[in-house]
């Protein structure tokens, strides 16, 4: 199974980090689908929930290093708090919370970006994929006895 990872990146650090990984020709698995957002403060729980529902196996939140690297001062704190609550929510829903991961990657850390994608891909491979979600009305009635 080839996992699909949604990677949410911020413009000023982690996207540049991913860029460095590319420019320096560091190899990493093709499982990462990178989305650039303006700041990690824009990385919302909804993106992760929708991705998991629509067939992604994991979501990687990335941002500038805590505490004071964020270009917009506090975006990384917001991402951190969201991921913490999101992980808890997922475990309550019966979804492995390690499908969501948060990493701080600065603009120079191309090697770290590649390493994180490697590790995360391997973890998700072991975990297997989520079942495909259906509408509740298609689930039917449980025959219990």
Partner 1 sequence: MIRLALVSLSGYCSGCEVALADVISEVLPRIEIVYSTLIADIDKLPSNIDLSLVSGAVRTKHDIEVLREARNKSKLLVALGSCASFGGIPGLANVYVVAELLREIYGTYPREVPKLTRAAAPVSEYVQVDYRLPGCPPPYKLLIELLVCVDEKKPLPKPPSRTVCDECSLKKRDVYEENVYRLGERDDVDFSRCFLEQGILCMGIATASGCEAQCPSRGVPCRGCRGPPAKIVDQGERLLSSIASVFSKIDEEELVRKIPDPLGYFYRFTLPSSTIPYTPEILKRMEKDEGSD
Minimum CB distance to partner 1 smaller for 99 or for 110? 99
Q: Of 3-11, 18-26, 29-37, 79-87, which part binds partner 1 (CB under 8 A)?
A: 79-87
68 contributes a contact to partner 1 by CB under 8 A = no
Residue pair 9/34 in contact (Cβ under 8 Å)? The answer is yes
State the nearest-atom distance from the C-beta of 25 to partner 1, in Å.
35
Quick one: which of 1, 2, 85, 108 contacts partner 1 (CB under 8 A)? 85
Structure tokens at 126: 């072991």
Q: Which of 83, 105, 114, 124 binds partner 1 (CB under 8 A)?
A: 83
Question: Do the beta carbons of residue 3 and residue 124 sit within 8 Å?
Answer: yes
CB-side exposure of 15: number of CA atoms within 13 Å?
Answer: 14
Omega cis (within 30) before 114 = no
Confirm or reject binding of residue 89 to partner 1 (CB under 8 A): yes
């Amino acid at each position: 199974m080839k996992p699909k990872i949604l990677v949410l990146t911020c413009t000023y650090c982690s996207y540049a980090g991913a860029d460095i990984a590319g420019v320096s020709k560091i190899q990493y698995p093709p499982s990462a689908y990178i989305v650039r957002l303006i700041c990690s403060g824009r990385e919302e729980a909804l993106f992760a929930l929708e991705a998991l529902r629509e067939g992604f196996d994991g979501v990687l939140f990335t941002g500038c290093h805590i505490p004071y690297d964020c270009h917009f001062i506090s975006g990384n704190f917001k991402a951190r708090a969201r991921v913490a609550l999101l992980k808890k929510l997922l475990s309550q829903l019966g979804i492995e919370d390690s499908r969501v991961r948060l990493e701080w990657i600065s603009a120079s850390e191309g090697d770290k970006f590649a390493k994180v994608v490697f590790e995360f891909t391997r973890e998700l491979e072991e975990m297997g994929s989520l079942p495909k979600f259906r509408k509740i009305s298609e689930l039917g009635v449980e025959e219990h006895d």
